[in-house]
Each structure stands twice: as structure tokens, then as C-alpha cells.
Amino acid sequence: MSQLQQDERTRIREAMDRLLTGQPTASNGSLTVVALAAEAGVHRMALQKRHADLKIEFYERVRKETQQVPEAEERLRATVAKLRTTVANQRAEIEDLRHLVTSLTLASAVLTQGHDASAEPVLAPENVIPFPPLTS
């Protein structure tokens, strides 16, 4: 590992300590990777790519030392809860629509079957052959 990377890792660990103790100097103090990168003076993508292990370590420390769930995880959990509600609503709507289709199909059958034989025949296009009336 190069000296530059070693120096970055040291700065990142020092930034972790400052954020977790609530003493930020170069960021807003939130417990996020963005704030960690700003606090350490490294590019966020350097933290995401070259030092991914430190990012994981940071989130583990946030969970252990502050007894908090990281903000990114809270947002994901909220999104998952909203999506589950949406899926449940859609399932209920699909079930309602299935019942409606069944009801409409039955109503259509009743209306088609209940056609009075004594009434005038309905004119149909030449390519349509009407069903003969039912005899019971």
C-alpha cells in the first residue's frame, strides 16, 4: 500500500473518531459516508472504492457506539415499508377487480340468456350468427 493510501486511511480513522464523539471540524457532523469523506478530506468515491472496508467499519461503529441505525439504512427501511404497503394495496385492488370481472361476466350472461323470444330479433352484421333462444 502506498504512503498516500496509508495517509488517507489514517485521516479517515481520525475523522471517524471525531464524528462518533460529536466533534466534527470539516463536515455537518452527520453519521454518513459523505460526512466522513468531507471530515477526512478525501473524495467520497475514494472512500467507496479504495477504502470500502473503512466504510463498513464506520457503519459498524455507528451501530455499536451510538446505538443508532445509519441514516442510509433508515431511508432504505422506510422505502421498503412504503413499497410493502403499495404492494398490499395493489393486491387488494387486483382482488377487487377480479370480483368485478366475475360479477360483470355473470350479469352479461344473465342479460344474454334472458333475451325474450317473442321480441323482435336484433339485426346483426352478416358475419355474426345469433344464438337461438333457449328452450327449457
Instruction: Determine the average pLDDT of the residues in 112-136.
Output: 68
User: Residue 124: its pLDDT value, please?
Assistant: 59
Query: 20-29, 44-53, 111-120: which range is least confident on average?
Result: 111-120
Q: Which residues are CB-neighbours of 93 under 8 A, at least 6 positions away?
A: none
Q: What are the boundaries of each domain within the chain?
A: 3-68, 70-101
- Dihedral (C-alpha) 91, 92, 96, 97: value to the nearest 10 degrees? -30
- Rounded to the nearest integer, the mean pLDDT of the chain is 85
The answer on pLDDT for 89 being more than 80 is yes
Question: In this predicted structure, what is the pLDDT of residue 26?
Answer: 86
Nearest to 35 by CA among 15, 53, 63, 60: 15
For residue 110, the tally of other CB atoms under 10 A from its CB is 9
Gap between the Cα atoms of 16 and 24, Å rounded = 9
